[in-house]
Amino acid sequence: DTEVTQTPKHLVMGMTNKKSLKCEQHMGHRAMYWYKQKAKKPPELMFVYSYEKLSINESVPSRFSPECPNSSLLNLHLHALQPEDSALYLCASSQVYTNTDTQYFGPGTRLTVL
Amino acid sequence: AQSVTQLGSHVSVSEGALVLLRCNYSSSVPPYLFWYVQYPNQGLQLLLKYTTGATLVKGINGFEAEFKKSETSFHLTKPSAHMSDAAEYFCAVSSKTSYDKVIFGPGTSLSVIP
C-alpha cells in the first residue's frame, strides 16, 4: 500500500474560522511533509516532521499550525487565514527524511479562503 | 545555492511523437535529481530519480532521463507520447553535501494532441 490519504478533498472557510486538514499513511514512513501549491506553480515546502518531531518550519505564518499525533497521522490546523492562503495543500511521506528518499504524495486538499 | 530551470512552461506533442522535457540545474556540486509528474487534481508522483551510478535512468510509464554533468542537465524523454501523458512535470534537485529540502523547478505542462 503506497497511499497517502488526505481529508477533506475540498474546504471553504471564512477568515475567522478554525479548521484542520488531515493526512494519513500506513506505509511505516517516519517522515511527513506539508506543501502548499498555488495554481500553475511548483509545491512549496511548509513543514517536515521526522520521527514525529518538527524538523523544518519554512518560516510559515503562525496561522498554520502543524501537528503529528503519531507516526501515521499529520494534521494542519488553520486559523484566521487570509484569501491569499487559498491553494492546494499537499501532504507527503517518505521512509525517512533524507535527500534521496522518494516522497509519496497525497491528492491534496483544495482550500478556498473567503 | 541550488536552483533548477525547466525550458518551456508548456510543451505540445502529437500522440506517438517523442517527448522531450528539459531540465537544467545550477549547483557547485552535482545534486541528486528527480522528475515528478502531477496529473490534474492529483498529487505528485515520482517518475524517476538519479542518485548515483548509471547516468541513464529508467522510470515508470516508459520515461527515462539522462544525467549529463558537462551540460548540467537531466532531460526527460519518452519515445512515443500517449494521451495519458498529458500532465504537469516537475524536475527537482536536492543537495549531496548538506541536509536540505528538495527544490522543485517551475514545471512544464505537457499537452498531447491526438
Give burial (CB, 10 Å; 0-12/13-18/19+) of B51: middle
A108 min Cα distance to partner chain B (Å): 6
Work out the pLDDT band at B29, boundaries 50, 70, 90: confident
A85 min Cα distance to partner chain B (Å): 18
Question: Is the pLDDT at B1 greater than 80, yes or no?
Answer: no
Beta-carbon separation of B102 and A103 below 8 A: yes
Question: Is the pLDDT at A107 greater than 80, yes or no?
Answer: yes
Taking CA–CA distances from B101, the nearest residue in chain A reads: A99
pLDDT value, residue B108: 98
- Cβ-based contacts of B51 with chain A (< 8 Å): 100
Q: Are residues B110 and B87 in contact, defined by beta-carbon separation less than 8 angstroms?
A: yes
pLDDT more than 90, % of chain A:
84
Q: How many CB atoms lie within 10 A of CB A85?
A: 18
pLDDT value, residue B35: 97
pLDDT value, residue A52: 96
Residue of B43, B99, B104 with shortest CB distance to A99: B99
Q: Does any CB of chain A come closer than 8 Å to the CB of residue B51?
A: yes
Question: Is the pLDDT at A2 greater than 70, yes or no?
Answer: no
Taking CA–CA distances from B94, the nearest residue in chain A reads: A99
Q: What is the mean pLDDT of residues A27-49?
A: 95
Question: Is the pLDDT at A1 greater than 70, yes or no?
Answer: no
Q: Which residues lie closer than 8 Å to B28 by C-beta, 6 or more apart?
A: none
Written as nine digits, the cell of B101 is: 529540502
Question: Is the pLDDT at A54 greater than 90, yes or no?
Answer: yes
A70 min Cα distance to partner chain B (Å): 22
Cβ contacts from A onto B, under 8 A: 49
B103 min Cα distance to partner chain A (Å): 8
Reported as a single tens digit per residue, the pLDDT across B56-107 is 999 999 999 999 999 999 999 999 999 999 999 999 998 877 767 889 999 9
Work out the pLDDT band at A98, boundaries 50, 70, 90: confident
Reported as a single tens digit per residue, the pLDDT across B51-70 is 988 999 999 999 999 999 99
Nearest partner of A114 among A90, A76, A87, A86, judged by Cα: A86
Interface test with A, best of B37, B44, B91 (most A CBs within 10 A): B44
Question: Is the pLDDT at A43 greater than 90, yes or no?
Answer: yes
Instruction: Please provide the average confidence, as pLDDT, over all residues in chain B.
Output: 93
